[in-house]
Structure 1
């Protein structure tokens, strides 16, 4: 499915505008609610998701929605998968490492991914079979030298802490690999595509955090596991995305 250039421009312009509204809300002071330990939601999260759903419902009236804050709404055509603010903790603290993530999925195939990081002025866009861009510039994965690999990592509370700690030990001691953990999986996936890290792993990631960045990585030439397997769209899944050589090097250990 190809989204026409004018429609794609309208979608991305809308996401940018809504992202700037979220910045303004934060700068004027946030009301923050705790969903769970280290899991927060602000009025900006709610505004972004509602604004995106309103726009997309008008532009694509037969589509469904799956949002982090509002849950699932069935549709006849594809489904829009939305994380209004990935990296909410960073966002509330005034850090720049947060983003809006929007993906469009038809029959378990990701057709469109857009990730916008307002504080960093980074707009990532990918369409299935059409490549990926950052602020209009084409992205292409470059294989790093083995001794210079830096991975992005996420830590899921749905996976035992000791598994995460064992992985860190393996990466550092056995593989001599550096890592970074910035707290926004969607944006770290995009930074695999742009070469700021060479791979991203998380033992469990929800689809609204994963799908847009995953397509952007794939269209830039990265290797990945089958995130959609085992009902990944609705249940989430393990995710391992990297430059091909890095992916092969660690795939067996990461069990993907």
Structure 2
């Protein structure tokens, strides 16, 4: 993957993020996929544009997106969430993003997350570090009494599991935040804005780019791609190394 290619991809993602904002400002067409699960014309537009460009540039690769599913390829696979945090996006909140990852041979080789309303552009590539707006990210450990985790709640797991997780964190003196966009919260782990992120079930298009950022910034995460996590999703647990080791037995006692 050449530097010229990655620069062009980043430029495209920036452009699509701005176009998504313009579509929102002009008034969105919105469909409901399920309870508290929406898709807008911006979701569809961004994914279609990314797929079309990647097909011309990397025809050997597969594509997996939230809105259009899987198109197999003969090499790696691009994993796309055109807008993570669609509800926030629709409501005019700034906590949403475009998430793009590249996976090959069970390795997440590239992760890009762009939050247009926050002017935050995250980029990570295997062995080359993680960056926010071209500033290198290095995860630093919080003091044990000051840990704040990001949490996600999945409709694919029982509500009691989520409330039990909150109770468990309180018992261990851990604060939490939930902002409704797992990909962006994972990016914010890499940036040190929270010290870890846990969700009982996350789709790969929400998880992989953020996990790449965290690893390249010096953090740790579970093996999300195990048990066909690429197509079926998996639990997601990522944090600074000390926080990960401290809470892994609590959050993923069997993993």
Bin for the TM-score computed over the shorter chain: over 0.9
Q: Secondary structure, in 3 states, of the residue corresponding to 1:231? A: helix
Partner in structure 2 of residue 122 of structure 1: 120
Partner in structure 2 of residue 231 of structure 1: 228
Gaps of 5+ in 1: none
CA distance in 1, matches of 2:161, 2:40: 31
Partner in structure 2 of residue 105 of structure 1: 103
Q: Secondary structure, in 3 states, of the residue corresponding to 2:226? A: coil
CA distance in 1, matches of 2:175, 2:238: 16
CA distance in 2, matches of 1:5, 1:150: 36
CA distance in 2, matches of 1:246, 1:111: 24
Does residue 207 in structure 1 map to residue 228 in structure 2? no
Partner in structure 2 of residue 37 of structure 1: 35
Cα RMSD, aligned residues only: 0.7
Partner in structure 2 of residue 80 of structure 1: 78
Partner in structure 2 of residue 247 of structure 1: 244
Q: Secondary structure, in 3 states, of the residue corresponding to 2:82? A: strand
Structure 1 segment 13-52 matched on structure 2, within 5 A = 13-52=11-50
CA distance in 2, matches of 1:4, 1:55: 16
Q: Secondary structure, in 3 states, of the residue corresponding to 1:234? A: helix
- TM-score in terms of structure 2 length: 0.98
Structure 1 segment 151-170 matched on structure 2, within 5 A = 151-170=149-168
Deviations 1:137-160 (A, max 9, x none): 000000000111100000011111
CA distance in 1, matches of 2:133, 2:168: 36
Q: Secondary structure, in 3 states, of the residue corresponding to 1:52? A: helix
Gaps of 5+ in 2: none
Count residues with an aligned counterpart: 253
Partner in structure 2 of residue 193 of structure 1: 190
Q: Secondary structure, in 3 states, of the residue corresponding to 2:124? A: strand
Runs (4 or more) in structure 1 with deviation over 2 Å come to: none
Give the superposition deviation at 1:4. 2.1
Deviations 1:36-80 (A, max 9, x none): 000000000000000000111111111110000000001111110
Does residue 142 in structure 1 map to residue 140 in structure 2? yes
